[in-house]
Amino acid sequence: MEAKDILGQHIPTPEHYNPDVLVAVPRSENRQKCGIRPQLFSGLDIWHAYEASFLLDNGMPFSGILKLAVPSTSENIVESKSLKLYLASFNMERMGSTVESAARRLETTVMKDLLGKAGVPATCRLHPLEPATRDVSDFIPYLPLEDLLDIGRLSAGTYEECPSLLEEDILPAAGEIKVCSRLLRSNCKITHQPDWGTVYIRLSARRLPAYKSLLRYIVSFRNEYHFHEEICEIIYQRLHDLFSPDKLMVACVYTRRGGINICPVRANAPELLPPFLCDLHAITDRSFR
Catalytic machinery residues: 188, 195
| Beta-carbon-side half-sphere exposure of residue 123 (alpha carbons within 13 Å) | 8
Residue 216 near residue 238, CB atoms below 8 Å:
no
Closest CA to 201 of 184, 185, 220, 222: 184
Backbone angle region of 223, left / alpha / beta, with phi > 0 → left and psi within -120 to 50 → alpha = alpha
Closest CA to 3 of 76, 58, 110, 65: 76
Distance CA 231, CA 240 (A): 14
- 211-219 and 228-243 are packed helices; what angle lies between their axes, rounded to 10 degrees? 150
CB 210 within 8 A of CB 169: yes
Residue 214 CA to residue 168 CA, distance in Å, equals 9
Pairing of strands 143-144, 175-187: parallel
The two beta strands, 61-71 and 143-144, are: unpaired
